[in-house]
Amino acid sequence: MTTRLRSQAELMSPLGCVTPLLTLDTGEPRLTLRAVTVLDVEAYHGVLSLPEVVKYDDFDVISHSEAQADIRGATALFTAQGARDSSEEFVLAIDLHRDGVDDDTVGFLYFTTVMKTGVRSLMIGYHLHPGYHGRGIARKAVGALVERAKGVKVQPQNKDQKWFSKYSSVFALVYSGNTRSIHLLEALGFTRVEDGGTVRDVRGTPMVEHRYVLANTCQ
């Protein structure tokens, strides 16, 4: 377990937040979602180097150098000009901590702004260390991210108009067979709206991509 440094400098993202991004009081333990830093390389690699974690992804386990590149790119996004509406993928660390115990980074959340025919949506995803499955951590973390997205407002050009929600919907892409993530999304109110084509993962296993949407979440 490692102790993370938490900068109080403002960090820009599509959710217009600072770090720590969100603090969830869930009793015991307590969860914190925050922007990743360069100190998260080991934890990130520790999660995404596990075959069980990437089993339902379109990529294989990552190397340490790939983890370094991912985290380096993610940290740069939070400080980049124009990052509020970047189509790049932002990464948040999921920290688990209790009084008197060092923080343990147990997973990561991802979110990306997607523009299609003038409509702005938020695509989300997550990876959680399998040692923390079954404790409601992913559901609380993903749920908090969705609630945050619902509350992001945009100022209209006409001052007489009301502020409007930034995102028309929040959605996630899930491959067939990933029942754990499908159950999580359904529990949060997501609905399966369409299926993509059949693809094969890096191990040659055929999978179908499902799109789950929380429509009108940001009205």
Sheet holding 191-200, edge to edge: 22-24, 30-35, 90-97, 104-116, 119-128, 169-175, 206-215, 191-200
Which CATH number applies to 22-215? Answer: 3.40.630.30
CB neighbour burial string for 168-178, b if at least 16 within 10 angstroms, e if fewer? bbbbbebbeeb
Q: Could you identify the residue written with the tokens 């992804």?
A: 57
Report the pLDDT value the prediction gives residue 19, as an integer from 0 to 100. Answer: 45
Q: Can you give the pLDDT at residue 11?
A: 41
CA–CA gap between residue 202 and residue 84 (Å, rounded): 33
Alpha-carbon gap, residue 132 to 147, rounded angstroms: 22
pLDDT tens sequence across 70-89: 999 888 877 664 455 556 68
Residues of the chain with pLDDT under 70: 1-29, 79-88, 100-102, 152-165, 202, 215-219
Residue 201's nearest CA partner among 55, 63, 67 is: 55
Tokens read off for 177: 């067979």
Task: Return the structure tokens found at 164.
Answer: 């409007």
Q: Which residues contact 63 (CB under 8 A, 6 or more apart)?
A: 45, 49
pLDDT of residue 44: 97
